[in-house]
Amino acid sequence: MFLRARRASTDPQVRSLLQKAVRRGYSQIVKLASTRLDANGDRTWLRSRTIVITFEECWPLAAPLSVDRDLTSKQNALLKVTNSAKQKDAASLGALAYAYHEGDHSMLGCVPEPHDIRIISEALNRPAAFFVWVFGESNSQWTRQVIRSAERYLAAATWQWDKACILAGAFLATKDSVSTFETSGVQTKEFPYWVALDKHTPVGKVALREVSEELNSSYRKLIWASFYFESALVNQLLPSPWWEAEKTWRLRRAGLSVEAAEELWSSARPLVRRRLEAEAMRLKHLVEAGSSREIFPVQTSLV
């Protein structure tokens, strides 16, 4: 009898950690998480996600975006977003347009401009024609830079909703003259590692499901409440009307008002955190240790 071991399966946790750290403005955690992912051989995902994160969290920063296979280029791009105030309209316009594209038109009554959703939905079908058109709508060098980045990096996005986000960034550039972005302050509080263990990780899903049962709430309600009032928190959010529209729409579909979702998460938060504290400490040690060679016994086999 012997213990059969393998490297710990940490990628979902470290991947989730990376985006939470970018959102909240923790530069050092971004460096540690991206270095860990690169050391684990997760380089293709890291390049793709760096591009998507830029468009999702602060789409105007797509103008100077330059990402190649080298870790330094990915970290530089991620740190620009990390240290900036966030503008999330491309993420939300893209998400809503993707839902519309898939046949759900229920958001049209609560969005800033329904026609914009139809444009991005159609762009998913005909991206080449969209870029010809949107270049014709550009009115500045900065606008053209954002559009070129969107065209250049569209293929790097794996999922259709990520592609919709990138297309939305190109479209928004024709309507917004912002070419510089304000930086945010340096984070001094310790990063709360447990927030990385959300619905995007197996352990987070278990914790959320257990707490939803304990509170006699639905799992669906709790995952969206946890997303908007914890996972999606940012260091500084600039006016983002599409983001506010998406939040209202998604919570409404889950059977919640914004106020009810905030109240639900206020009750659930300490319960979820308590369940995740031990795993959060392991994640913290794993990332801060910087080694990619930890192995843990996972099962006993008979020979």
Q: Return the closest-CA partner of residue 134 out of 109, 94, 167, 182.
A: 167
Average pLDDT (256-268) is: 98
- pLDDT per position as a tens digit, 44-89: 999 999 999 999 999 999 999 999 999 999 999 999 999 999 999 9
Q: Where residue 176 falls among pLDDT bands split at 50, 70, 90?
A: confident
pLDDT confidence of residue 302 = 28
CA–CA distance, 36 with 43 (Å, rounded to integer): 10
The half-sphere exposure of 97 on its side-chain side, counting CA atoms within 13 A, is 31
Both tokens of 115, joined, read 């026609």
Strand partners, 84: 183
Question: Which residue would you say has higher pLDDT here, 258 or 186?
Answer: 258
CA-based Rg of the chain, rounded to a whole angstrom?
A: 20
Beta bridge partners of 86: 237
- At 8 the pLDDT is 40
Which of 197, 240, 52, 118 is closest to 107 using CA atoms?
Answer: 118
Is the model's pLDDT at 17 over the cut of 70?
yes
Q: Are the C-beta atoms of residues 112 and 78 closer than 8 Å to each other? A: no
- Give the model's pLDDT for residue 139: 87
**Would you state the structure tokens that stand for residue 228, as one six-digit string?**
């908007």
